[in-house]
Amino acid sequence: MKKERTYIRDGRAPVPVNEVTSRVMSAIKAKNTKPELVLRKALWNNGLRGYRLHWKKVPGKPDIVFAGRKLAIFINGCFWHRCPHCKPRLPKTNLDFWEAKFHKNTERDTKKIADLAAFGWESMTFWECQLKDPQQSVEVIREALKERNVEKINHIETLCS
């Protein structure tokens, strides 16, 4: 016997017109999303290991962090973070709510990157649509890690001189 799920409304979002919409929206996760898992698997398979996940010690809790190299990686869903590449459509209902929500999301994303930069971190953002071929993203990350390693070595040599 299948038990009916009840959804508790917390007041942050308007009540959906359709029960199916409510069920779909309730299933959306913040961590370990499919695009994130795709990139992590590609990093692992290419020997890029030693990263931390959702590290709370840096601003914005990036999805992937190479702490020693001060490299933070965000993996953004195209719909929620308003991808500049595929430009997803706005929902047709509750337009005012969605426009405000998306505006807050993009402002928060910009602030996270600025906060990380203030601490000397480099940030990279990969979009869900870009991860259809994760190998390209892996190569971009590999190059950034090489550059960050050279900077780290130069900094250490300067301190030792």
Give the whole-angstrom CA distance, residue 10 versus residue 134: 36
- Give the tens place of pLDDT for each residue, 6-16: 556 566 666 66
Helix residue spans in 58-161 (DSSP H): 78-81, 95-118, 134-160
Structure-derived torsion over alpha carbons of residues 73, 79, 81, 87, reported in degrees to the nearest 10: 100
Q: Name the DSSP class of 14.
A: P
- Give the tens place of pLDDT for each residue, 83-93: 888 988 888 88
pTM, two decimal places: 0.77
CATH architecture of 35-160: 3-Layer(aba) Sandwich (3.40)
Domains of the chain: which residue ranges? 35-160
**Per-residue model confidence (pLDDT) at position 13:** 64
Query: Percentage of residues in the chain with pLDDT exceeding 90?
Result: 54
- Give the tens place of pLDDT for each residue, 100-150: 988 999 999 999 999 999 999 999 999 999 999 999 999 999 999 998 876
Segment 35-55 shows an average pLDDT of 94
